[in-house]
Structure 1
């Protein structure tokens, strides 16, 4: 066959840049969306934040008049209906009222906080027991930097300081010394003539640092260091030290009968000794949080009003945007200059960006409303009343594709009276019940957690026994499934849950 040119007609689905932008904004989390909005504000002069108390009508009217080449607005643009911020709740802003609230000059003997309320003036006093400065600091600190800070306060020679820095570098995030002292000693310059005894002495100095138990070489030494720091009058301290030093392996195997015989203690006495050991921290390094704290900002707020569950967007997390009326007034339709073309393109992008934000909020509201409609039992009674729910159910209810529902529910959070949950938390698989119904996996996990919490500590429930108890409630679950749900809840096997209680 000879190559030839053929003209054909066909249809093809093409994603416009505006649609791509809407989809990208849809899958962003609240924090990422705020960053995206800030970048749009920095790059597009037509966009600006809508502050509280400002009149929103004038911006769209001026933009509409500018599009028509008029000097004054003639009618309200339809763009106002698609904007994120509305003027229903906005109040008229009076500059005279604002100027009256600010005095012309401040007295020389007063501070700014005496007249204006700031965030610092709202901080609780030092006498408040609930005040926790560490919980309100955002900068994380590594364990190594925390130990080096204490090392700088400790008087020691240059050689000992070199040894201490080397030892601190060998301590992992859990607070344990990873390297062997012999290997550490061999790693120093032979001209320094550092012996292992010197390294061990410096290690003892580091083990006196905070957090207590840091620098230990194994669990036994870590617990012994923490017991050593307790007051001498602590009850059962001597027995706890003896148990850690001589019988820690027996305690790990939970052979309490053998432990009582070896330590010559009664059951109640051994229980109190074990409680003292359990109050210690086997991972002291975990007390120092190196990573930055991550804050969850809910996208949707759910509350109950007059026996009805109401869903609303978190307006505080969504900055309100509008078109800058001054810049929009410079745009003229008949002008084809480069500056006017640039401003017209920026105005078009600003409108599309605000429209995409509104589309994101509307889709999020539809999905959240349907989720609340399906999971009213969870909101009223807790996890045990969670119903099975999949993406297809919500997609059918809102008339969208499952992929869109997946984007909406990813990294989006809902604030409920029971806590803050990711939207994906409300989706779960199901198992069949004896009556022919369905039970969600979330409800089964809640039931398992409840059964374990109420079990006899001396004879904990095995996975087979839990499966049998679930079957008595009409829930048909295999033992392997119970084990999988138990592990996802962080519950140890029955052999490790045995306690002297």
Structure 2
């Protein structure tokens, strides 16, 4: 029969504290997310401040102290004049000289010091609250959406309220591309009109919306969208050819089968090629011309410049959050703190940890970036063809950190070089052995494939098998499927779609 007993075991295991886990997550953040997190902590923690704001407050305090000093000098001048004239200093309205007993240290002096500390920090808040200047965002133009643009045109058109209601319903049903994805009969059932609109009325309202600017809006398919833009073509014969292609030969048009189209239309292949070029100039997404115009720019974390002594790597000051410990609040808290833990004590500890984490984060990023530049100097000088094979382990050994730390540092971090802005992960490339036994990076092979395709004949482009044989002739053994994958990463189409027919 089994028995119950206790046993003590000694084991060693690694565990991450919650604070360390949070630090790891912060290291993996992008600079934009990290700056937003620091700003949030500055708003919630009274012990964190912006150095620029604090400097403004210090300058204001200096002005106040200067004014006080001038007032003291003015008092000394009046006092000396009174002594020379033999006047009694106890007369009404005459300032009294300071009592020597007031100079003794005591609670009043300590309170005055505290008052100066508070004034030094509060003066900035008063200045900011009284600032009435508008920001640049107040002068930013309001974005015009596609629906706003179309409704504005409907407002100036002469039509009955019933027709206007149906047209507005169609406009409100368009997607971001400018297409009408909802069936007209389904849309008619949603309108509170008596009698309910029939299919013919809804079709007339649709044609009305399709006549608005931009051309191609409210189309129900890509072919219809392109057909609506054909009247803008000046050449009548070309316009007719394009309309025929869009109406009757969409499958061959999508496959870019020029010989098939030329045979079916009984026109030269060069004429079909011109029609294809005219179709490419049309806009398949007319709704993209309106709406949000915000562009997400990449702000590099590290900037690399070439100098006479070599490559100089430094952090981008624009991505480093400006935060420091508020010494005024820290001194006041240390002076009047009570025994035991208080919420303010937790805030102070959190503030100190945040400042240290900011310093450690960007110090690690700079160390990793410097190690990458030392390994990839040939890439900076000669381009992607000179990229050397590099793995995370090499950088981790040189910096003295774990590979996982290097992986987190290179995630969503960017480096600005004289040849462009690259993600730090771009500089890592697995080695591929050549016929001679030397290692070559996958990035260099991908660049070589792009140069081969760029130099190919437009009428006889290179297939993936031909590119594989040319690489093998140069001593680079690469499988055909690998060539296909690299070509797709370069966003280059297949050989059939790259071939031009004269």
- TM-score in terms of structure 1 length: 0.75
Deviations 1:382-440 (A, max 9, x none): 22222222222222221211211111111111122222222122223332211112222
Equivalent position of 2:325 in the other structure = 323
Find 1:312's aligned residue among 311, 314, 318: 314
Which structure 1 segments of 5+ residues have no match? 58-70, 72-94, 100-111, 124-135
Residues 353, 432 of structure 1: CA spacing in aligned structure 2 closer, same or farther, 3 A cutoff? same
Which structure 2 segments of 5+ residues have no match? 59-109, 111-122, 128-132
Equivalent position of 1:294 in the other structure = 296
CA distance in 2, matches of 1:140, 1:449: 39
**2:46 pairs with 1:45:** yes
Higher helix content, 1 or 2: 2
CA distance in 2, matches of 1:455, 1:228: 37
CA distance in 2, matches of 1:477, 1:500: 30
Equivalent position of 2:227 in the other structure = 224
- Higher RCO (C-alpha 8 Å, min separation 6): 1
Equivalent position of 2:180 in the other structure = 177
Residues 149, 316 of structure 1: CA spacing in aligned structure 2 closer, same or farther, 3 A cutoff? same
CA distance in 2, matches of 1:181, 1:18: 57
| Mapped contact 1:185–1:194 kept (Cα < 8 A) | yes
Deviations 1:227-264 (A, max 9, x none): 2134x467844443344344444433433334345545
CA distance in 2, matches of 1:188, 1:355: 61
CA distance in 2, matches of 1:140, 1:256: 42
CA distance in 2, matches of 1:172, 1:282: 13
Residues 189, 22 of structure 1: CA spacing in aligned structure 2 closer, same or farther, 3 A cutoff? closer
| Mapped contact 1:18–1:352 kept (Cα < 8 A) | no
Equivalent position of 1:375 in the other structure = 376
Equivalent position of 1:282 in the other structure = 284
CA distance in 2, matches of 1:335, 1:282: 68
CA distance in 2, matches of 1:17, 1:185: 57
CA distance in 1, matches of 2:217, 2:391: 47
CA distance in 1, matches of 2:252, 2:462: 22
Deviation, structure 1 residue 297: 2.0
Residues 148, 422 of structure 1: CA spacing in aligned structure 2 closer, same or farther, 3 A cutoff? farther
Deviations 1:162-207 (A, max 9, x none): 3224433554443333344455456666842422222122111221
Find 1:202's aligned residue among 205, 208, 215: 205
Deviation, structure 1 residue 350: 1.9
| Mapped contact 1:140–1:293 kept (Cα < 8 A) | no
CA distance in 1, matches of 2:428, 2:154: 50
CA distance in 2, matches of 1:248, 1:335: 79
CA distance in 1, matches of 2:381, 2:291: 36
SS of the aligned residue for 2:304 comes to strand
CA distance in 1, matches of 2:163, 2:295: 35
Deviations 1:129-153 (A, max 9, x none): xxxxxxx97x877655554454455
CA distance in 1, matches of 2:28, 2:209: 48
Deviation, structure 1 residue 337: 4.9
Deviation, structure 1 residue 313: 0.7
SS of the aligned residue for 1:312 comes to strand
SS of the aligned residue for 2:416 comes to strand
Deviation, structure 1 residue 341: 4.8
Deviation, structure 1 residue 34: 0.9
CA distance in 1, matches of 2:278, 2:212: 22
Q: How does 1:475-490 map to 2 (within 5 A)?
A: 475-490=476-491
Deviations 1:353-388 (A, max 9, x none): 111111111111111111222222222222222222
| Mapped contact 1:50–1:56 kept (Cα < 8 A) | no
CA distance in 1, matches of 2:500, 2:259: 12
RMSD: 3.7
**2:409 pairs with 1:408:** yes
| Mapped contact 2:258–2:273 kept (Cα < 8 A) | no
Residues 146, 235 of structure 1: CA spacing in aligned structure 2 closer, same or farther, 3 A cutoff? same
CA distance in 1, matches of 2:477, 2:148: 53
Residues 260, 24 of structure 1: CA spacing in aligned structure 2 closer, same or farther, 3 A cutoff? closer
Equivalent position of 1:255 in the other structure = 257
Q: How does 1:85-484 map to 2 (within 5 A)?
A: 143-144=146-147, 146-148=149-151, 150-182=153-185, 184-185=187-188, 191-230=194-233, 232=234, 236-288=238-290, 293-306=295-308, 308-332=310-334, 335-337=337-339, 341-484=342-485
CA distance in 2, matches of 1:325, 1:234: 77
Deviations 1:65-91 (A, max 9, x none): xxxxxx9xxxxxxxxxxxxxxxxxxxx
- Please identify, of 365-374 and 265-274, the stretch whose mean Cα deviation from structure 2 is larger: 265-274
SS of the aligned residue for 1:295 comes to coil
Residues 154, 487 of structure 1: CA spacing in aligned structure 2 closer, same or farther, 3 A cutoff? farther
Residues 352, 182 of structure 1: CA spacing in aligned structure 2 closer, same or farther, 3 A cutoff? closer
